[in-house]
Each structure stands twice: as C-alpha cells, then as structure tokens.
Amino acid sequence: MKSSAFISQLAAALICLSSLNAEVTLDPGAKDLKKIDVTSSMMGLRDTLRFYVFEKEKAVLRVRIDNQTTQFPVSAKLYVFAEGTTAEGLAKWINNQHSDGLFPGVPEPKSTHEIPAASCVMKSNERGEEVDGGPSGQFTRYKVVFEIKDVPAFGDIRIKDFTDSAAVHVKIQGA
C-alpha cells in the first residue's frame, strides 16, 4: 500500500514538473499569424524575405528565398527574444533587418537558431509576369511554393511543419 501511495505522489510531482518545462510549438501556417514580406530595397528588387511574427512567444521566423537562379534556394532562421519584448520592438527589429537600420535601440534576440538546410525545401515555382525593377532592370515574378519541415526542437521550442508561397523576382539576363 505504501509503495503505491509513493508512486502516485511521485507521478503527481513529475506531472507538475513537466508543466514547468512546457513545450512551445510555433505554427507558421496559422491563419491569423502576422507575416511581413520584403521583396525590394532602395537598390530595387531583391531576394525575398518572409518574416513570421510570433508576438505572444516573442519569436520571429525569417525565411529567405534566393532570387539569383530559378532553383530558389530556401533558408530560414528562428530568432527568440526576451520575455518583455513588445510587438513594436519586434516590428522595429524586423524593419532593421532589411533597411538601413532606421531604428536605434531595438531589442536583440536572446538566441538565434539556424534551420537545417534539409528542412527548407522549394516545392515548386510558377512563372508570372515581367515587372520593371527600376534602375536595376527587368525581372520575372515567380510564385514559389516552399516547405519547412522536420525541424529539430530548439530547447523547448518546436516549429510545426508548414507549406507556404511567396513572390520572388528573378532578373532577366540582358534586361
């Protein structure tokens, strides 16, 4: 009898402890998640950056789709910020990642995690219209479908597998 009571108490203690190490799952495919796309800079059209903003979790997933070839290599990084980071702080940090760093004193990530290349896959692309890139020339717009999957956990943070699409502009040679 005494050993079964001890086992019950031990099980209850383990359940309580496991809730202290609660796993956080980030879902970039969530319908209401804020996404920010960057396809141009002061110099014209550029590689595509997609920022998935997890305000509650104080994290940002940045997906980069290279525009130098129609192979569209995909890479990604997860940035995790301190608990007190505000939505405004995250927005300013994101802006500084693709602009001239207009905002001083933005929060810095407390950790950065490279998503393994094997987890970042370009699934398909569809050629679209030609667009004027201003002084940088003519570009072809593509719709690129990519997938981020089988990402190993970063401590207690997991990224749910997802598929998404983004516009990517490739310079037309000679234009």
Q: Name, in order, each residue with C-beta under 8 angstroms of 87's C-beta and a sequence gap of 6 or more.
A: 53, 55
Reported confidence tier of residue 89, pLDDT bands at 50, 70, 90: very high
Does some domain include residue 13? Answer: no
Specify if 49 maps to a domain: yes
In a domain, 88, yes or no: yes
Q: Which residues pair with 63 in a beta bridge?
A: 50, 76
For residue 17, being part of any structural domain is answered with no
In a domain, 7, yes or no: no
What band does 134 get if pLDDT is binned at 50, 70 and 90?
confident
pLDDT digits (tens, 9 = 90+) for 6-31: 555 544 444 444 434 569 999 999 99
- Determine, yes or no, domain membership for 4: no
Does any domain span residue 60? yes
Candidates 163, 165, 74, 161; CA nearest to 125 is 165
pTM score of the predicted model: 0.86
Number of structural domains found in the chain: 1
Model confidence pLDDT, tens digit, residues 20-69:
456 999 999 999 999 999 999 888 899 999 999 999 999 999 999 999 99
- Cβ-contact 63, 26 below 8 angstroms: no
Domain span at 108: 24-171
Q: Could you tell me if residue 51 is left (phi over 0), alpha (psi between -120 and 50 degrees) or otherwise beta?
A: beta
Q: Could you tell me if residue 1 is inside a domain?
A: no
Distance (Å, whole) CA 171 – CA 69? 9
